[in-house]
Structure 1
Amino acid sequence: MPNERLRAVMAAGGWTYEALAAKTEVDPKSVERWVNLNRVPRRTTALRAAEILGEDVHALWPAIRQPRKARGVSPDLEALYPQRADLPVSVFIDLFQQARQQIDILVYAAVFLHEAYPRLNALLTERAAEGCAVRIAIGDADSPGVRRRGQEERYGHGIDSRCRLALMHYRALIHTPVVELRTHGTTLYNSLYRADDQMLVNTHVWGVNAYGAPVWQLRRSVEGGMFDTYATSFEAVWDTARAVEE
């Protein structure tokens, strides 16, 4: 029996087997089997395909069960990664590509994004051109907070130099409509990467570089949950940050 729901969604969006296969990084024959034989992909692949198609994964593949969560775990929590290094940069880029209304970035530097994906500025400009508001807050290289973080992470002057590098990367965006760039000197407990109602939270651990610290993957599902806690934190830092001038 074919998967008529998946067939209809793909037809409505103009998706070919080859196009969806390329996006989900599988063989086109696999996508053909999803449609014609109602085969169920692996959970991670199904989630990615559903997100690309803009559909609920359980509507496309009812056989895929919701993961069982431990008692007391926030419904906003989708995944937990032991280290940021466990996430390919494509996870961050895909997050921003999906944004339609809002992108928020709160970091000290996070130059790994530009280093691994040189088109980051172009991507943010494209999203802004579609009406997506972009706010970027990076560390003030001269602030006591940044210098202290360098000492705690044993970076020395490395972190403030990376803040200057991040500013150099992002400065090209200051004349882009609906893109705002600010610097902050706060004690940063988490780096935040938000796209609409999704967020990656890179926790900061004393004495550990950010790439070695855990990452929460959140999706807003309840009011006042984990997602809103971190979103409120971003707003508090943003209010204290200073706009970057030419």
Structure 2
Amino acid sequence: MPNQRLRDSLLRNGFDLNAVAKATGVDPKTVERWINQNRTPYPRHRRAIAAMVRESESYLWPDALAPDAKKEITKSEVVQVYPHRHSVPQELWSHLIAQARMNISVLVYSGIFLTDDPTLIKTLRAKAEAGVKIRLLLGDPASREVARRSEEEGIGRGTLAAKVRNAHAFFKPLADTDHAEIRCHRTTLYNSIYRFDDEMLVNTHVHGFMAAHAPVLHLRRLSGGDLFETYAESFQGVWDDAKPPKW
């Protein structure tokens, strides 16, 4: 069975057999076997290919690493744990946005705290013009999931929906000028995800607490780790099922 993840990653980044062969120092026929016969490359070759296509080894070759090795790498993906979202330094948010070169992806219901930065729209527009892909997943304000979360947080059934509508209005100028793709979701949100290239802030959700008072994981992607990849795949799953907003 072919390695479809490897094939897709190479095609998406414009690499052919010869480019991979040159980067890894092997024959193109060997590269072809890695793809078409799902042969597993040596670790040094896996690292080189993962760096080329900006994917993790665990994504391209899920069974390549022994469980103990994968466990140790995954632990190292955790940069910092913050007890509450409001304890994450504002400078960290600004740094992560500023250093993003390829991808800014956000999964929230409202993320209304982001609108406290009056320069955010201007900054995101500039990032998009520089080639950064910006994807924003906002909640559907009419969904039962948003209403239920609002009740669970103890802020009243319609309060969160109002915040979501405010977030839609705030980010709409980005969509109007094609500087971001925005979709609405009806997901039961277990975590809010903020991805900036190979770094991520994951705001866990705790029953009975507002998101600002729940813990945040700061993750940095490592080639053989599973933790970052788990949340990245979760984001993609919600994105695939989401719909464009009805402005």
TM-score, normalization by structure 2: 0.68
Which residue of the partner structure matches residue 173 of structure 1? 174
The Cα offsets for residues 83-132 of structure 1, whole Å up to 9 and x where unpaired, read as: 111113332122111100000000011111112x1111111101000000
Give the equivalent residue in structure 2 for 1:160. Answer: 161
Contact 2:73 2:224 in 1 (8 A): no
State the partner residue of 1:216. Answer: 217
Q: Distance in 1 between matches of 2:131 and 2:178?
A: 9
> Deviation digits for residues 160-192 of structure 1, max 9, x if unmatched?
100000001001111333510111110000111
> Structure 2: how far apart are the matches of 1:245 and 1:143?
13
Residue pairs, 1:54-65, within 5 angstroms: none
Q: Which runs of 5+ in 1 are unaligned?
A: 1-69
Q: 1:125 corresponds to which letter in structure 2?
A: R
Q: 8 Å contact 2:74–2:225 — kept in the other structure?
A: no
The residue type paired with residue 213 of structure 1 is A
**Aligned counterparts of 1:187 and 1:179: Cα–Cα separation in 2:** 23
1:105 counterpart = 2:106: yes
Ranked by relative contact order (alpha carbons within 8 Å, sequence separation 6 or more), the top structure is 2
Q: Is the 8 A contact 1:131 1:178 kept in 2?
A: no
CA RMSD for the aligned pairs?
1.7
1:38-58 Cα shifts (integer Å, max 9, x gaps): xxxxxxxxxxxxxxxxxxxxx
Native 8 Å contact 2:74 2:226 kept in 1: no
Task: Give aligned pairs, total.
Answer: 176
Instruction: Give the number of the structure whose residues are more often helix, by fraction.
Output: 2
In structure 1, what residue type is equivalent to 2:143?
S
Aligned 8 A contact 1:133 1:179 in 2: yes
Structure 1 segments, 4+ long, off by >2 Å, are 70-73, 175-178
Give 3-state SS (helix, strand or coil) of 1:243's partner: coil
Structure 2 unpaired stretches of 5+: 1-70
Question: Residue by residue, what CA displacement relative to the aligned partner does 1:10-56 show, whole Å, maximum 9, x if unpaired?
Answer: xxxxxxxxxxxxxxxxxxxxxxxxxxxxxxxxxxxxxxxxxxxxxxx
